Structure 1
């Protein structure tokens, strides 16, 4: 079990205190003092490993199942003895234009917080340190941890949205450049739309849980924590507005790119048609004089051959001038 425990500590009055090394003894101490809580962090525990935590903290079986299986939508569940929050932290790989989502589950009770992390994204790296340096917030109890974790995840959403916007601006500039787009631009646009969709799956469903935590009527939520959750909710609203803007921008870029492709194809077809028309004239004239009729006066005319060549050349030149003026060539 120690291999999956990232950290385990007792907090009293907003400050970290030395406690028993065993989390069972630490939980018993936190419950005995009344004004303390235990925060234990886990990374990808197995079912057998998590059973030890479940039995000690009395976590709801449905929440435990979600925490073990992962692949959950962001949500907030309220049980008799705990709250269960699911978050999807997101990372953006600029070199691969790829959005990667992890999962983070937070259990909150009267005297405990359990965080369960899946994937390589780790928004908790500095959360403990920041909270421990701010005892005024940490003294609000277990929900202060839930707020800090939510705040870290949502703030990073803004960073990801900004990084996506920079790459989309570059793609937009490429599409509308005088030289035109290079390579499989439509494929890149669809790839970006897929990444934005993945991002939206993380941010969109989280709005309702944050509003509920910022409101009234939920158990285990300290009254002093509600303004902080409202702040997180406001930031999340900004994120969702950014995501919608990115999706609209991608749709506009794709429409413009497809329109440009249509214009280029029409231009190519005009050029092909013009050259075909110019090639058809000498072919037609040669075909007429190649029909071998007995009575064709021009065939016996001394200047018939050069006259036909001049007719072909003059007609081709006239068509060329005409198509050039019309912008077809």
Structure 2
């Protein structure tokens, strides 16, 4: 009958026109990179039953096939527009607030629950290779992966130029024992891959920190404050991606959630442990950078003081001949030894002697 609600969890047909879930708010413009022309939002779509991938099906039929077979569908999307994700949200009954977050991205890592659907946001990170760290170098490039987990489906939404999940999907398909645990196994694999990438980025950043530390304490005089500040800013991006992840992973590991079987909790507990270690590593690097920055500032201050001592010492030496020449340059008629034949040479000898004595004194005190 018209207006009759479909049974809960049953899929709806994808509409021909892709509707919007809610009006686009002017205050939240879309800033994620657009896809190349000619490519749709669907990267891959597959149904998994008993841990094995079934023959290909169309995205419009995948959810029904998963429900009928007792498996689940994994739908992978890349940078969908509001209209594109709106059509999928209508079919999978996704919450409008979660859909809005998935479209506009730039969210803090979090875990939210909408009835029987989990929505998790993860920030991905990639180390940007460079020949030499400068005051404007981009070291850490971030992106986002959003994951919707329902009873018979998992939808991954990726933003950013990195963090592709094709290799992850192939690796997970080679582990049917893990895939047979349901959609939450995909969420675990994505979270584990993201945390592992944090480890790689933190290790690479640590090499940059060691290079800067060696430069700051090298015998040569260097100006590393700009590079140190830039690396500290880049490390802050990694810290913002890692630190908030602990709470969502703890919920997945400790709390009873319908779409997360008890057998999956130990997996999430392992990811949580890795995330905590990365968090501690990033915090240690941040503290080390702060110490190196303070040491660099102190060394710069000491170098400035040393320059001022040298300038002051030479100014003191030059003041002697300047003062004597100034006195004799006043052209008074009656001055000491003014008419003496050897007076000029005596004054020069006095100037040289005074300058040599001052030079030796400053040299002995470390001013020169």
TM-score (norm 1): 0.95
Unaligned runs of 5+ in 2: 1-17, 19-38, 131-136
The 8 Å contact of residues 256 and 262 in structure 2, kept in 1 or not, is answered as: no
Work out whether 1:55 is the aligned partner of 2:94.
Answer: no
Structure 1 runs (4+) deviating above 4 angstroms are: none
Q: What is the number of residues matched between the two proteins?
A: 325
Match of 1:254 among 281, 287, 293: 293
CA distance in 1, matches of 2:171, 2:108: 27
DSSP-derived class of the 2:338 partner: helix
> Residue by residue, what CA displacement relative to the aligned partner does 1:49-69 show, whole Å, maximum 9, x if unpaired?
112211110000000000001
CA distance in 1, matches of 2:336, 2:153: 110
How far apart are 1:11 and its partner, in Å? 0.7
Q: Which residue of 1 aligns with 2:188?
A: 147
Unaligned runs of 5+ in 1: none
Q: Any residues of structure 2 matched to 1:257-272 within 5 Å, and which? A: 257-272=296-311
DSSP-derived class of the 2:116 partner: coil
How far apart are 1:293 and its partner, in Å? 3.0
How far apart are 1:118 and its partner, in Å? 0.6
Q: Which residue of 2 aligns with 1:28?
A: 64
How far apart are 1:19 and its partner, in Å? 4.7
Work out whether 1:189 is the aligned partner of 2:228.
Answer: yes
DSSP-derived class of the 2:331 partner: coil
Match of 1:314 among 342, 350, 353: 353
The 8 Å contact of residues 215 and 226 in structure 1, kept in 2 or not, is answered as: yes
TM-score (norm 2): 0.86
Match of 1:128 among 169, 179, 183: 169
Work out whether 1:45 is the aligned partner of 2:80.
Answer: yes
The 8 Å contact of residues 210 and 233 in structure 1, kept in 2 or not, is answered as: yes
Q: Which residue of 2 aligns with 1:165?
A: 206
How far apart are 1:97 and its partner, in Å? 4.6
> Residue by residue, what CA displacement relative to the aligned partner does 1:162-216 show, whole Å, maximum 9, x if unpaired?
00001111111111112232xx411111110110001111111111000000012
CA distance in 2, matches of 1:236, 1:295: 89
Q: Which residue of 1 aligns with 2:142?
A: 101
- Select the structure that is richer in helix: 1
Root-mean-square deviation (Å): 1.4
Q: Which residue of 1 aligns with 2:52?
A: 15
